[in-house]
Structure 1
Amino acid sequence: MKSDKIIEEILGEIEKHEGVLSRRDAMKLLAASPIAAGVLAGTTTTTEAYASSDAKGKIVIVGGGLAGVATAAKLTNKLSNPDITIIEPNPHSVSYQPGQTLVAAGVWQKSDITYDTANFIPKGTKWIKEMVVSFDPANNKVKTQSGMEVTYDYLVVATGLVLDFASIKGLEGEIMSSGDNEIVRKKVGKNGVYSIYFADGAVDTYKGIQELIAKAKAHTGSEKLQALFTDPATAIKCGGAPKKIMYIIHDLLTKAGVRDKVELTFCPSGDKMFGVPEYNDAIFEQFKKRGFKWEFKTNLVAIDTEKKVATFEYKWLEKGEYDEDLKEYTMIPMSKNIEKKYDFIHITPPQKAPDLVGKSPIGSSKGWVPVVKETLQHVTYKNVFAIGDVAALPMAKTGGSARKEYAVLVDNLIAVMEKKEKLPAAYDGYTVCPLITSLGTVMLAEFNWTAKPTPSFPLDPTQERWIWWLLKVYALKPMTIYGMLSGRA
């Protein structure tokens, strides 16, 4: 896809919000944003000039979401005679998940983030509309739900992860971000319990926020209403999302004139706001300025949705006996359960690799697919690669990570197909978190495995800025959907 097509899609997004941003200002945004410039610069090469390898082999990609389809597209562009099969049952697997936060905020509708997978499957790529139920890497094959055995020369695992609501006592279901979610919505999406981690959940969350505002307006008691925001002990996609929804609700309560009637408390299982010290410090200051509360090392383990009581496991260390040899005290891990009443709770569910992956020969004891983090090649099976949320990579479960990963994976996979001994490309852990801090400001947190800010533009990355809000709302989705999914961004 050419860059002018992406620009038109961005301008189309702007026209949906007429009066907020002019086309001229939009072009200035694209010129100022190094992320946008980088995407647009990478979309100008024709397919004929782009193809560079005559390598042969049957490639099977399990998972047809953002990472899987983008990988197929880039392989199609770079191989002169590609033989690619995608196995994916969901007709809407390429939905734009980062937009779920904006749906909950009332800025977008669900239709703004839902796409038909069929519209993005690269020309010539086979699509098996089934679920894989087993992996047999020793014999280079997978089996689908209907019993079909699909052989491969090279395998790319891009299944995404599972939202494990069932691991919280009182809730049910393991679901993906899109697709069937009826079992989870028995309890989540009503009666004060919400989650933006799946598309329908984001729609429900917007309704729940309006109910909280109405309740606050009618509230006459001396005690404040309680809104809780959880962050689990597992790795999660979009680590900033549990905080984004808190900022959004603060902003909407403030605009409604009832912020003083609701106490907002962040309850993360860890002991930091963010893994990068500079962003961690900035978020602390933002929390203090907004009057947020926080309680570290509190992990949601149970919930009574009828009584509106959430149970958290609180962990800490206590000093034990003094060790004469080590010249230090033994630290004893302690824990206890704490119950908290709530009027509104946003649940970030524990997350894991699908069991069919994590418990298979290509999985690991921790569930995720173990890969060499720089090359994305499986640690055991050299013709297997993994990408996106399912890969065992630190700090990398975002669309921004996948955008960097898929180019690395394709170059390395082609190198393996060409029988090269050394893999040419290396992923440095880059990711980006557009941390929404209000309906109008974003802190654009870019970083990599150095745990240091890696800003693409010479601005203080710890500051909340209107320009990054414009990037988030208007530019990132078209750049992703029409840039990355064409294999050129």
Structure 2
Amino acid sequence: MPNHYQILIIGGGTGGIMTAAQLIKQKELTDIAIIEPADTHYYQPAWTLVGAGTYNYARTARPMGSVIPGKTAWIQDRATGFDPENNTVHTGSSGDITYDYLVVAPGLAYDFSLVPGLGDAIDKGVVCSVYTDPEHTWRVIKNFQGGTALFTQPTTPIKCGGAPQKIMYLAESHWANEGMRDRVEVVFATSGTIIFGIKQIAKTLMEVVDRKDINLRFGYQLTRVDGPNRIAWYRFADHMKEYNHKDVRTETDGDLTGIHYDMLHTAPPSVAPAFVRSSSLANAKGWVDVDKHTLQHTRYTNVFSLGDVAGVPTAKTGAAIRKQVPVIVDNLHRLIQHERMGNMSYNGYSSCPLVTDYGQMVLAEFDYDNNFTPDPKLKQMLIKDSSKEHFRLWLLKKYMLPYMYWNQMLKGQEV
């Protein structure tokens, strides 16, 4: 195996595979390698649907070797560190790999130490997460007999910030369909102060909350989980607001408030991987320090980053990656060919497909300035306003997006 490549990519997730595929298909570059230890590539956006019993988990997985583009070397190993002054990446067992250009896209990592007790409780008993085990999540929802159903999230950045809401809306629908909704109190406790940052989307979601009779507790910062006693402990600010109060069992411990739950769904606290956080590539918060428009590193001009690990102020979603990849591909190609950057600029686009019911979805698309930026192509689906619930948006989420992902995005096509 060579130890030097023109372009070295860290990460075989959406960002890494799409970047390699577009470089090969569109720019005809071939001296490319991907460092990725995993055997399996997952389409994680469908895991919320798996957690609601409406998508087959097996369909979200494919062998890693089947999605890594042809003409790309696969180094099945783990990156362990960087030496950007010498254009070198250290690996677990393959030695040092050198490069002319580096793309950093390993995704994020989970750090359960940030919420003590959660690591011991998650994916066991009545505690679940579509982020880590969507099949267990469906078992918990399906077997739930009533009581307080608590949906929450940590204060750290997470993949797809809307997912904790999506699974809550679907779970509520399932319980209603089973005729047991009157035995359930649904609570959403979040550290945020509003339900969503885009005004048009927030208006629709508050209508959904009213329809589903959900208790929103804003300003709740999850601090620890007591699994044996089924208590989630929170600290909240003075500006804490509550919407549609529910009489659920709580208790206090100093300045903390504990909510007793009969089932708990949360996202795991998320950080950049340790080998990124400890490197000279990281910013003060541990994410890769890149220009938010060019995605080029602020100090090392031959280093780029995208996806969840990039230190840009937008939501960490596959949709964001879809718009980031062409910018990096164009810049890399122009640097190689002309030793100068291109003119393409990433405007912070991201989107969150917010499933609100079985057969209903809202599509939040936005940029760095939180402008609502719906895709004009939605009109071809006869969708006039994607900030409203629509059956055709559900079809997009469940059928069209997975097809586009496997057959177009990972194959080097721009969509």
Q: State if a TM-score over 0.5 links the two structures.
A: yes
Alignment partner of 1:287 out of 189, 192, 209 = 209
For 1:135 and 1:420, locate their aligned partners in 2 and report how far apart those are by CA, in whole Å.
23
Residue 387 of structure 2 is aligned to residue 462 of structure 1: yes
Residue 156 of structure 2 is aligned to residue 209 of structure 1: no
1:57 is displaced (CA, Å) by 6.8
For 2:218 and 2:337, locate their aligned partners in 1 and report how far apart those are by CA, in whole Å.
50
For 1:396 and 1:416, locate their aligned partners in 2 and report how far apart those are by CA, in whole Å.
28
Deviation by residue 1:89-130 (Cα, 9 ceiling, x = unmatched): 0011x3100010011011112201011110111111111100
Task: Tell me which amino acid in the other structure corresponds to 1:425.
Answer: M
Q: TM-score, normalised by structure 1?
A: 0.78
For 1:336 and 1:367, locate their aligned partners in 2 and report how far apart those are by CA, in whole Å.
29
- Conserved 8 A contact 2:5-2:33: no
* Cα RMSD (Å): 1.7
Residue 289 of structure 2 is aligned to residue 370 of structure 1: yes
Structure 2 residue aligned with 1:332: none
For 1:317 and 1:207, locate their aligned partners in 2 and report how far apart those are by CA, in whole Å.
36
Task: Report the secondary structure of 2:118's partner residue.
Answer: coil
Residue 244 of structure 2 is aligned to residue 314 of structure 1: no
Aligned length in residues? 392
* Farther-moved stretch of structure 1 (257-266 vs 231-240): 231-240
Task: Tell me which amino acid in the other structure corresponds to 1:136.
Answer: D
Q: Give unmatched runs, 5+ long, in structure 1.
A: 1-55, 173-185, 217-224, 319-334
Matches within 5 A, 1:70-469: 70-92=18-40, 94-146=41-93, 148-172=95-119, 187-198=121-132, 201-212=133-144, 215-216=145-146, 225-316=147-238, 336-456=255-375, 457-458=378-379, 459-469=384-394
Task: Report the secondary structure of 1:152's partner residue.
Answer: strand
Task: Report the secondary structure of 1:72's partner residue.
Answer: helix
Task: Tell me which amino acid in the other structure corresponds to 1:99.
Answer: A
- Conserved 8 A contact 2:332-2:341: no
For 1:79 and 1:298, locate their aligned partners in 2 and report how far apart those are by CA, in whole Å.
48
- Conserved 8 A contact 2:161-2:315: no
For 2:408 and 2:238, locate their aligned partners in 1 and report how far apart those are by CA, in whole Å.
46
For 1:80 and 1:308, locate their aligned partners in 2 and report how far apart those are by CA, in whole Å.
55
For 2:70 and 2:341, locate their aligned partners in 1 and report how far apart those are by CA, in whole Å.
30
Structure 2 residue aligned with 1:474: 399
For the pair shown, the structure with the greater C-alpha radius of gyration is 1
Task: Sort the Cα spacing of 1:284 and 1:128 in 2 relative to 1 into closer, same or farther, 3 A.
Answer: same
Using the aligned pairs only, state the percent identity.
Answer: 39
- Conserved 8 A contact 1:315-1:336: no
1:81 is displaced (CA, Å) by 4.4
Task: Report the secondary structure of 1:348's partner residue.
Answer: coil
For 2:177 and 2:296, locate their aligned partners in 1 and report how far apart those are by CA, in whole Å.
49
For 1:57 and 1:116, locate their aligned partners in 2 and report how far apart those are by CA, in whole Å.
24
Q: Give unmatched runs, 5+ long, in structure 2.
A: 241-253
For 1:80 and 1:295, locate their aligned partners in 2 and report how far apart those are by CA, in whole Å.
52
1:317 is displaced (CA, Å) by 5.6
- Conserved 8 A contact 2:126-2:140: yes
For 2:28 and 2:225, locate their aligned partners in 1 and report how far apart those are by CA, in whole Å.
55
- Conserved 8 A contact 1:371-1:386: yes
